[in-house]
């Protein structure tokens, strides 16, 4: 099973649940996708190390990420990248 196959299965499952009136959020989908990817990689005799599990992201987290990205973009402009 390829990664594209796994993602297709996850999309289908998400759509089926949504059609039944169940909203599947990223908090549920992301860990399931990570697990499926890990199984596929290990099934192909590869290795996947998850350094940090998926978690819900707050508005504060989003704001901090945006600020960090903006600061790095400004730093890159200063050196001409």
Compare 52 and 13 and report the one with higher pLDDT: 52
What would the two tokens of residue 20 be? 């039944």
What pLDDT does 1 receive? Answer: 65
CA distance 23 to 19: 9
> Is the pTM higher than 0.85?
no
Instruction: List, for residues 57-75, the tens digit of each pLDDT value.
Output: 778 888 888 899 999 998 8
Dihedral in degrees, nearest 10, Cα atoms 20, 22, 27, 32: -30
Higher pLDDT, 46 or 22: 46
pLDDT of amino acid 20: 61
Chain position carrying tokens 């730093």: 75
CB of 6 within 8 A of CB of 36?
yes
């Amino acid at each position: 099973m390829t990664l594209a196959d796994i993602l297709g299965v996850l999309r289908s499952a998400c759509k089926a649940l949504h059609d039944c009136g169940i909203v599947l959020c990223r908090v549920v989908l992301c860990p399931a996708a990570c697990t499926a990817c890990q199984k596929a990689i290990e099934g192909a005799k590869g290795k996947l190390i998850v350094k940090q599990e998926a978690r819900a992201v707050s508005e504060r987290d989003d704001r901090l990420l945006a600020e960090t990205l903006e600061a790095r973009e400004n730093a890159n402009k200063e050196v001409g990248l």
